[in-house]
Amino acid sequence: MAPYYYYPGWWEGGPMLHFFINTAKWQKLPKNYRAILTAAAAKANVEMQAKYDHLNPGALRKLLAQGAKLRPFSGEILEACFRAANETYAEIGKTNAEFKKIHDAIMAYRNDAFLWEQVTDGTFDNFMMSQQRKKML
């Protein structure tokens, strides 16, 4: 076993499943089939997120019990990874218009989501984690 567990996994802020289907083929499906596929994909994504959130605390405790030591990535490492990822996305976007279109839309959505997160869940989560560190939970 590796002696250190580095965090956060900056490249994966949270798990998400993606389901891709050819648009022309999708349009040919009956509406009820599209609804079934949409519901099944949504259910799979929600179940995977729930399983991820449920199983990871126990997995982390197991790693620690076996001697792993937690180590945060430095701000410099996270910044370098963030810059490298964004440079890669920009490079891909120069030659792949569809990638650029999708990536730009995702980034616009992410920025709105982070704005909201700072006001709501992020603030609450930080408060609750401070209570945990104080042994109040």
pLDDT in tens, 87-123: 999 999 999 999 999 999 999 999 999 899 889 998 9
- Residue 71 is given by DSSP the state E
Mean pLDDT to the nearest integer, 9-31: 86
47 and 60 both lie in a single domain = yes
Q: Which domain holds residue 121?
A: 74-137
Whether residues 91 and 102 share a domain: the answer is: yes
Judgement on whether residues 69 and 82 belong to the same structural domain of the protein: no
Does 92 lie in the same domain as 79? Answer: yes
Q: What is the pLDDT of residues 47-83, one digit of tens each?
A: 998 998 899 999 999 999 999 999 999 999 999 999 9
14, pLDDT greater than 80: no
Closest CA to 84 of 73, 72, 94, 92: 92
| pLDDT band of 17, cuts 50, 70, 90 | confident
* Beta-bridge partner residues of 4: 69
The reply to whether 47 and 92 lie within a common domain is no
Is the separation of the CB atoms in 11 and 73 below 8 Å? no
Domain tally, the chain: 2
The confidence score (pLDDT) of residue 70 equals 95
Q: What pLDDT sits at residue 12? A: 67
Residue 72's pLDDT is 94
Q: How far apart are the C-alpha atoms of 48 and 50, rounded to whole Å?
A: 5
- 100 with 82, same domain? yes
Q: What are phi and psi of 116, to 5 degrees?
A: -65, -40
Same domain membership, residue 1 and residue 63: yes
Is the same domain home to 46 and 81?
no
Specify the pLDDT at position 87: 97
The answer to whether residues 14 and 49 touch, using CB atoms and an 8 Å cutoff, is yes
pLDDT for the residue numbered 1: 62
Query: Can you give the pTM of this predicted structure?
Result: 0.71
Same-domain status, 40 and 102: no
**Is 69 in the same domain as 79?**
no
The amino acid at 52: Y
